[in-house]
Amino acid sequence: MKRNSLALTLSATALYLFLYAPIAVVIVYSFNAARFGATWTGFTTKWYSTLLHNSLALHAAENTLWLGVFSTVISTVLGTLLGFGMSRYEFPGKEVFGKLLYVPVFVPDIVLAVSLLLFYSIIRSWLGLLELGLTTMILAHVTFQIPFVAIVVRARLVGLDPSLEEAARDLGANEWQAFRHVILPLILPGVMAGGMLAFTLSLDDFVVSFFTSGPGSTTLPILIYSSVKRGITPDINALSTLIILASVLATIVVAILQRIKTSTRNHIK
């Protein structure tokens, strides 16, 4: 193993500063007393209290949370079953489907967004269903979340000792019982990591939400976008700071979940 040279350490530090510059700026400016512009005029916490009385932001936060919770629960269940099913059982076209699973991971958000917008408007004109709102947003979010959950879960299944499942089957468990009582507890940290990823993707999403939302279903990213378009108001920086803190917390939780994965494996050995 080679040691890091001074030049490498310095350039790595510079790159970390570059990565964190926007995050730091948002946090610092959330305490800036100036109402407009980028000049610093003094320290204040008033934007946080303004935010607490901003009913638009509170409503958007509520929508974001419900959207995230519902879509994550649905996509985690479907994605986990899919990840397990694909690793064990064959069906016609599985190979192609396994590749198509990556399409939502790579496809530009905006293409997914407009395709769903067209789909919804066709269903609406033919059947009178799917008025744009929280429901259409949940359906859209689950669609891009499923592949991520399935891919994460499938990766965890690869490292699993097959004899555990065989033992359960030898002892008379059917496939479902073996999955429910043996596999699922073993891959639970992976499932939870997949769920956290799905939840973060939902919280992060602006483009798909923007195109599939209706009146009254504004989420925090949509609110931030429209505020930025009109000119940033300082309480948006306060809001963004809170969202950043939530993301940092989520990242740490996932890091811990990954530790649990390794320790369970050692425990079994």
**What CA–CA distances, in Å, run from 210 to 83, 138, 146, 213, 237?**
29, 12, 20, 6, 20
Q: Which of positions 57-116 make contact with other proteins (CB under 8 A)?
A: 78-79, 81-82, 84-86, 88-92, 94, 97, 99-104, 106-112, 114-116
Q: Which amino acid is at 173?
A: A
Rounded least distance, CB 59 to other proteins, Å = 18
- The contacts of residue 51 (CB under 8 Å, 6+ apart) are 57, 235, 238, 239, 242
Does residue 71 contact residue 202 with C-beta atoms inside 8 Å?
yes
Q: Which amino acid is at 74?
A: I
Q: Which residues, in sequence order, are bridge partners of residue 43? A: 32
Rounded least distance, CB 266 to other proteins, Å = 16
Binder of other proteins out of 73, 132, 250, 260 (CB under 8 A) = 250
18 or 43: CB nearest other proteins: 18
Binder of other proteins out of 44, 50, 233, 247 (CB under 8 A) = 247
Q: Which of positions 185-224 make contact with other proteins (CB under 8 A)?
A: 200, 203-204, 206-207, 211, 221, 224
Binder of other proteins out of 57, 61, 67, 142 (CB under 8 A) = 142
Binder of other proteins out of 52, 56, 184, 252 (CB under 8 A) = 252
Q: Which stretch binds other proteins (CB under 8 A): 15-23, 54-62, 152-160, 260-268?
A: 15-23
95 or 267: CB nearest other proteins: 95
- How many C-alpha atoms does 262 have within 13 Å on its Cβ side? 5
Q: What tokens appear for 40 in the block? A: 């610093």
Q: Which of positions 36-55 make contact with other proteins (CB under 8 A)?
A: 37-39
Binder of other proteins out of 8, 129, 171, 268 (CB under 8 A) = 8
Binder of other proteins out of 232, 233, 261, 265 (CB under 8 A) = 232
Does residue 111 contact residue 159 with C-beta atoms inside 8 Å?
no
Q: What tokens appear for 7 in the block? A: 């030049």
Q: Shortest CA distance to 200 belongs to which of 19, 16, 24, 75?
A: 75
Is 48 strand, coil or helix? helix
126 makes contact with other proteins (CB under 8 A): no
